[in-house]
A and B are shown apart, each in its own frame.
Chain A
Amino acid sequence: MESVEQLSAARVLVPVQPRKLAKVPFVELAEGRLQGVVSSGSDLARVYVSWIAAGSHDFNCSTNNNRPCGGLYGRLCKHLDLLVEEAVVQYGLERVAHYLRVEASEVGELLGRLNGSHAPGSSAMVFSRFLRHLAYLELPATAEPVAELHWFPGAVR
């Protein structure tokens, strides 16, 4: 094995797996939460901002205008279920379970073990991270060579 210490192009991050983005355009494991954005099934301009805290598994789901999700009755709503399912596609079950600090060998088991309670808390931060994420796609492409990208081989086989 080559030592990671002395490789300029050592791989630090594992690229995420491709998945369908239509229903859940954004998922991340960040800020101590599994968090993301779920598109509303009925209104194109509305999205739900959902998160589950690592450890406590407390959760919240509300619209981007900060209205609470109607499907939350002291347990996970369908948006949170979807969020977990898509996170598992994107990162793999092991990484998601590890981050949330749950032991589970399949998605159903993982969902069953999330026994937190509905927690207050603003979704504004998560939504603004989503907007920042989308803003990358608005940046123009460039023909100026970026020599620094030689350090980043990306998703290789």
Chain B
Amino acid sequence: MLAVHLSALTSPTGADEALALVDGFDAALEHGLGRLSPEHAAALGALAGAVAATPLGAVAAEAADKLAAGAASDSRLLALAGARAAVLGAVHDALLDGFDTALGRTRAPWTPTGETPPSAPSPSGSSPSVPLPSASSPSAPSPVNLLAGCRSWLGELAITGWRGVGHDLVAAADPTIEALLAVPSLRRLAVLVDGLAAELRASSPVATMEHLPVRRWADLWSRAMLLTEPQPAQAGEPVSGRLLLLGVDVHEHGTAVQIQAHGLLETSGETRLVRTSLAAAKVDTIVGAAVWRLFSAYPVLLSALAKRLTLDITGMTLLPSGDLLWNDDQARGGELANPFTVARVQLATGVAPAVPPLERHPVRLAEPVLIEGYSSDGTTVELDGHTLVVERLSGCGPLTPDLVAASTACLGLLRWDGGRWRLQPLAVQATVKRKPVEAHSGDWAEGITDPKLAKAEARHGDAVAVLKERAGRLLRK
């Protein structure tokens, strides 16, 4: 990526206006949608107005009207969550279009036929693709009831407003979260609500907080609301070929971690940009490089990340979203392949995947780029007068601000937040003490490679092993 690409990454037309509508809704949510001031009622009306021309238009307008009159209901809140998501989805699309145009990246179109049709109507008239509960535990609530329970907690949050949230309201979600976590098909919602609840718990009573992360909490709230509607599953296709890894992105909150590798998948005559992810539940005391141990059941992927190997894939499922559903049994480690070489030779030729409608939000933008010829102080990179904020240096790999400052080439993800583009380095080539060094975010996937740091970590012992031993002894009694 060059300065000329960066200069072409301008703020899309209308993005500021769209975000102003979002801010209006978020301010109302801060104070609660139960009793709206005229100003906040107007903000809801304006948000609904923005989607007037879409299929959401009528329900959103009705929801804004009823809420202004003090008549809140879960379905009206859902309609407004949908309107907010649609506006942010449009911002996402404009940003991604701008990115693709600036870099000349080809992107596959989204084909709605990739979705499996709904199998049976649910009580709310929408479509559950959620598998029905197994008969193993007759007392377990069905997914439909669980989703309704979760939605009603989210509804209470919205009616109360962040400023009114305290320990009791947060604790009320505990049984729901526990039950959601137990249903594999609801993991996305469970992980999201668990993360939101932890932030609210630590911030309670929220009324005493000075600056609230209103955009963030409204993002989490509205996505969770949408996930309480049963989701259509994407239909994947089996693919075989060679996967060339570019780098790995790590997402984490206290009780969940996800590793998401980006790479180029070569199949017969076609090169596609893909992502492959593994997510595990954890606890807050498993942090830093220790999180890799949660994925020890996937040695093929971990070893390819740590050793920078290609992967031969056979019959693995690829979703239209570009997500390769990782299965260690369908992969074999190949030869050494330096991700910088891969990026220099092939990144420009890879076809990028479409983004599924529900996932269209600026926070999901994470486009692999190779940047060279910049200067950096470790917190930003400067390229011909253009500045990118450096962020998200993973704590479970060797990358540090110092290394970024000393670097001459960076393989990373281009992201967008708070009104500007940002760079998340996944790998750097740098000069340290006049010697060339290279560091990748996945270098420690099989353990810390720096002897000094490895020794420091060893003093803490193996957190995963200790807790699993405790769980084995105390849980099944």
Interface positions of A (Cβ within 8 A of B): 2-10, 12-13, 15-22, 25, 30-31, 39, 44-45, 47, 64, 90, 130-157
Contact = CB atoms under 8 A, between A and B. Distances in A.
Contacts of A133: 283
A7 B474 contact: no
B327 to A, nearest CB: 7
B463 interface: yes
B252 interface: yes
A119 B325 CA distance: 53
Contacts of A132: 178
Q: Which of A6, A44, A45, A135 has the most CB of B within 10 A?
A: A6
Contacts of A31: 167
Contact of B363 (A39, A146, A151, A156): A151
Nearest to A134: B471
B195 A152 contact: yes
Interface string B239-282: 00000000000111111111010000000000000011111111
B73 to A, nearest CB: 25
A87 to B, nearest CB: 11
B460 A156 contact: no
Contacts of B203: 12
B18 interface: no
Contacts of A17: 287
Given A7-B417, A144-B279, A21 B258 contact: no
B393 A157 contact: yes
Contacts of A130: 474
Contacts of A144: 187-188, 277, 279, 325
Interface of B: 19, 23, 26, 167, 178, 181-182, 184, 187-188, 191-192, 195, 198-199, 201-203, 211-216, 219-220, 223, 227, 250-258, 260, 275-285, 287-288, 290, 294-295, 297-298, 319, 321, 323, 325-327, 356, 358-359, 361-364, 366, 391-396, 399-401, 417-419, 457, 459-461, 463-464, 466-468, 470-471, 473-475
Contacts of A147: 188, 356, 358-359, 364
Nearest to A151: B363
B396 A155 contact: yes
A19 B254 CA distance: 15
Given A148-B188, A149-B256, 10 more contacts: A15-B284, A17-B287, A45-B474, A136-B181, A139-B182, A143-B327, A146-B256, A149-B191, A149-B251, A151-B192
Nearest to B196: A151
Contact of A151 (B178, B195, B257): B195
B277 A30 contact: no
Given A20-B461, A155-B396, A8 B215 contact: yes
A16 B392 contact: no
Given A3-B418, A25-B470, A156 B394 contact: yes
Q: Which of A4, A16, A25, A143 has the most CB of B within 10 A?
A: A143
Given A19-B460, A21-B466, A149-B251, A157 B400 contact: yes
Nearest to A23: B466
A151 B219 contact: yes
